[in-house]
Structure formats: structure tokens, C-alpha cells
A and B are shown apart, each in its own frame.
Chain A
Amino acid sequence: MVDGINDRLRAAVVAGGGLLSRRRLLGNGLAVSGAAVGSISLAGQVSADPLVPEWATSAGEPVRGYGVPAIYEENVKRTLIKPYEDLAPGYSFSGTPLQHLRGTITPNGLHFEVHHGGRADIDPSAHNLFIHGLVDRPLRFDLAALERYPMVTHVHFIECAGNSFFNALMDEPMQAGCDMLHGLVSNAEWTGIPLSILLAEAGVDPRARWVVAAGDDAPSLARSIPLEKAMTDGMLALYQNGERLRPEQGYPMRLLLPGYEGNMNIKWVSSLWLTESPAFTKDESGHYTEQLSDGTVLAFSFGMEVKSVITHPSATMSMSGPGLYQISGLAWSGSGAIETVEVSADGGQSWAVADLVEPVLPRAMTRFTLPWHWDGAPLVLMSRAVDVTGARQPTRDEWKSRYAPTSANHYNAIQSWRIGADGSVANVYA
């Protein structure tokens, strides 16, 4: 099965392609290390001792009010997608560079964006949340008042319904990184006020079944949200990873509807209108509906599917020679927690269960890892996740067979990466 490795590694093999069991490796007394650290080049030497690096020979910079990443991390940026270029630049997306990140939390400056009419710039002192319609007392809340309300904190992913649309639509797999292929998903710790508290203060009329939310961005994006979702775990989010929301995430306030497709988490939210029925706004009539292969159109498809992607290694990376690696990736589901992630290193012929990094939280990204000995031969890596409801990822062929050829929303098929003998990593449909 695996050539050129020692007995300890061979004893740890759990599936084809060199997939290993971390437990067996540890039992064999072999530590699995990360990628080898490259040698440090000396930029300049001012010490008499040539082994002392330059930065250890002078005082560093003083403190600063707001930190930014090291200048050497300049390439870690969101990838920008402007489908209509200068004609409508505000209609644009940016993808999180998942392949450059570890752990599960997306740094605030790297959280993905999708704007239908550009990023709004809102003066928080002039912004209010209105609750009106089928309520006993129509109310307005300003930010100062909202700061007094009890807040909760939860980690949740947000994924654009159209994430991974290139793989959904393109006949030949596009060669691009996870930022471009799957970057319209991010994961953050959100803090805010349960919508149930604010709605209860307004007094929900028993006839109300929907909350039609709208934002104060240019197109005032509006969506109809089931009242029961708002009351169960809906949040008016004010903080993102501990700090105020970023402007591109809806500053000064947005909705958070855990597990629901991204656009329903209305950014720059200013209105919650309680109604008996949904409004069939533009985004629930066209953009965020799904046309099936028989012409039927799915509307109000709220939950995001179970999904996973191996981020290390992934397309645009290259392997640095045969040997031990740690496969690492992300899994998430809008229906709850991740139950299992399996990894294949032989194109799906055999699978091994990956280790899940705690905590495994509902409707939040979960990191999975698996030790792997790559013998240098070409192969195909895949991951497939199962959530607590038993839902599992389809193959791309299975997914495509259900939807119209031009339909791209809610794509959650298994992602495959082909590792070449030259160490290249390519996006493949396999």
C-alpha cells in the first residue's frame, strides 16, 4: 500500500494513499511535526556575531493603537471578485483566503463580503432599528439604548448561498485557490442581543408569522424571515470577534440567523416588519432561489448544507517533497454540529475518519486534521462531512443532476484536489 516508509508509519496506515492514524502514530512513539521551517536569511548584520539577526540588535517600534499583520503577510488578503468591473463596482464579492488561515475564526479584516450595492458607510449616531407591523407597540432603538440590553455570544459561520459557484457552473474545474473557489464563507464570534428580547418588548401579535427585514445599504436588501427562526436563535449582532462590526459586515448592526444563507443575515439592518406572510422580495423571487433540473424553483431555501474542504493542501499550493504532512481542512453545516469528516487519499476508493479539533460547535466551522504520508506519487485527496442530522455531502455529479445547469446556489459537493508527481495541487472534479 505505501512504499518507502518505515515500519512505524506502515503500522499507522488506515487508508489508501498514505493516510495515517494519529493515535497509532503516537502509540509508535513517533511525533508528527508540521512543515519544516525554512532557514532564516540574514537581512543585514550590525553585530560582531554573524549569528545574531539584525532585529535583535536595535530597539523595536513602540506600541500602537490598532495592530495590523506583519508586513510579510501582505499576500494574506481577500480575493476580489468584481463581475461587472467598473459598470457596477459596488456589486462585488471578496473571498476569505481559507488556504492561508489555521484554526477556525476568520480575522475581521478577512471576513468574506458580498455587496449588492456597495459597502454602506453609516453614522452610528444617526442609525436606528425599527420594529413595526404586527406588534402591539411599534418601537425604535438607537445604538446607545441597545448597549444596555443583555447580550449573548456565539460562534457561527456565515456562508453566501452562492459560495463555490465556479465549481457549480464551470464545465472544467477552474484552477484557483480556496479564496476564489470556496471563500464566500467565514466564521466569527458574534455578540449581540437576542431578537426575541427586542420583539417581545414590541409585543408580537399572534397573527405574525414572518419578520421582513431591510437594511440601510443602497439597495436596502430585504428578506422575509420566519418568526420562529428570529425567536429561536436570531440575534441583532453588534460585535464581531470582540470588536464592533466592520463596515463591510453591516456596521453598526446586522442580523445573525445561524445556519441560514448569507444574504438573510441582513447587514446595516434598520427595519424589522412583522407580517402574516412573506414579501417575496427580489432576493427571494430570483437571486436566491434555486432552479431544479425539471424547471421547478425552490424559494425560501434557508439552511446551508453540510460541507467540507481540505485547505492544506489545496489548489495553488505545492507540496515540498514526499514525507509526512498534516492534512487540515474545514467543515460546517447550517443544520447543526459536524458529526464526522472522512478523508480519502486515493480518489474515494478508501476513506479514513479525520480528527475533529475541539470545540465542535453547532453551525460553526470545525477544523479537521489527519496525518498523511505522501510517497510522491500522483493521487486525489477528498473530504466528505456528515452533520448531526445525518446529512452528507453529495458528489458533484449527484449535485448537478438535481439542479438546472445554470443553478449555482447551495453547492456543497465533495471537493477533490489532485496531487501531481511534481507536487502541484489542482482542482479536479473527481
Chain B
Amino acid sequence: MSMLRIAAIAALSAVLPATASDEGPGLGQPISEDEIPSYFRPVMPDGTGLPPGSGTAAEGQPIYEAQCGFCHGETGIEGPIMPLVGPNADYATPAGTYWPYAPTLFDYIQRAMPFYAPKSLSDDEAYAVTAYILFRNGVIPEDAIMDADSLAAVQMPNRDNFIDLWTIQGAAPY
């Protein structure tokens, strides 16, 4: 552990006790689980938060071609916007191979896509589009069924190249 991290943790422990709840007027309203929208809790890298449902590449292809292809490319390579299949000389960081965890694909497709109608896909549709992108990148076989368990088990090819800079040196720049 670096001296920076030790210093940061020391600073935290000094700060925590000072923040008593009575500094504010205490006007927060209690909420229950069913008041929390799904997009408030991103799917975690281990798949926690993935909903029931499933999809395959074959099911995802027509959804992709209708709702995604005009930005990301007809087959995911062409773009013009952030191609999902690769990498190649035109685009070094396609989501389908660059991202370290496959559940993030499901999360982002549900949260932010399609660009003009985010949060509109059903869970099955989001699994299917996720499966299509992973298949197009050669990460999963064509007939693989993506669901909460199988998507969490996918090994992304770039995962071991990721370094968590925060754990190494805190917020200090690289």
C-alpha cells in the first residue's frame, strides 16, 4: 500500500466521526424498495442485478439491425459511431471486446440505448442484443443463451489487462 493510500484512509477516518447527522435538518423521507427504479442500481460486474429472462444472438440480430445498426454499423464494425465489434485499425476500443465484464453490456443497453429511446427494450431483448454483440466478437458461440447466470460467466478477453488505479495510488494521476 502506498503512502498516498495510507494518508487518504487516515484522512477518511478523521472525517467520518465529524459528520453527525444533526448537522442537517433531517428532512429526508424514508423510501421503500419498490420506489427505487431499476436504473438506480447498475448491474454489477459479477452479474448481481441481472433480471430474469434470456436471449440469443439469432434473436438479437433483427433487434440490433433495426435499432442499433444505423449508428454502430450494420454488422457492428462499420460505425460510424463507436463500433461494437473489433478492435481494428479504425476503432481500438469496441465494447464487445474492450470492456472487462459482460454484464456491463446488458446494463448499458438497458440504461442508455437505443439512443433515441433509452430504457425501452425488454429484458429478453436486452439479453438478445447482448448475445448478438458478444457472438459477433467471437466471445460466445452462436447458439449460446444469455441469461443472468451465463452472462455473468462470460470471460471477456481484455479483463486481465485492466488495472484499478484507485486501489494502487488513490486519486493521484497516473
Contact = CB atoms under 8 A, between A and B. Distances in A.
Interface stretch (B54-62, B111-119, B131-139): B111-119
Interface of B: 8-9, 11-12, 15-16, 19-21, 23-32, 35-37, 39-45, 70-71, 80-81, 92-93, 95, 98-101, 104, 107-108, 111-113, 115, 118-119, 158, 161-167, 171-174
Contact of A84 (B81, B93, B173): B81
A303 B171 contact: yes
Contacts of A296: 161-163
B107 A410 contact: no
Interface in A202-238: 202-204, 212, 214, 218-222, 226-229, 231-232
A122 interface: no
B166 A137 contact: no
Contact of B45 (A194, A280, A286, A305): A280
Interface of A: 84, 87-88, 90-91, 116-117, 130-133, 137-142, 145-146, 148-150, 193-194, 196-204, 212, 214, 218-222, 226-229, 231-232, 259-260, 270-271, 273, 275, 277, 279-282, 285-286, 289-291, 295-306, 334-335, 389, 391, 402, 404, 406, 410, 412
Contacts of B36: 130, 132, 138, 271
A216 B167 CA distance: 29
- The SS class assigned to the A binding surface is mixed
Nearest to A260: B171
A270 B30 contact: no
B19 A279 contact: no
A117 B112 contact: yes
Contacts of B101: 280, 285
Nearest to B111: A220
B12 to A, nearest CB: 4
A232 B15 contact: yes
Nearest to B119: A220
A389 B8 CA distance: 14
Given A220-B118, A229-B171, A301-B173, A130 B111 contact: no
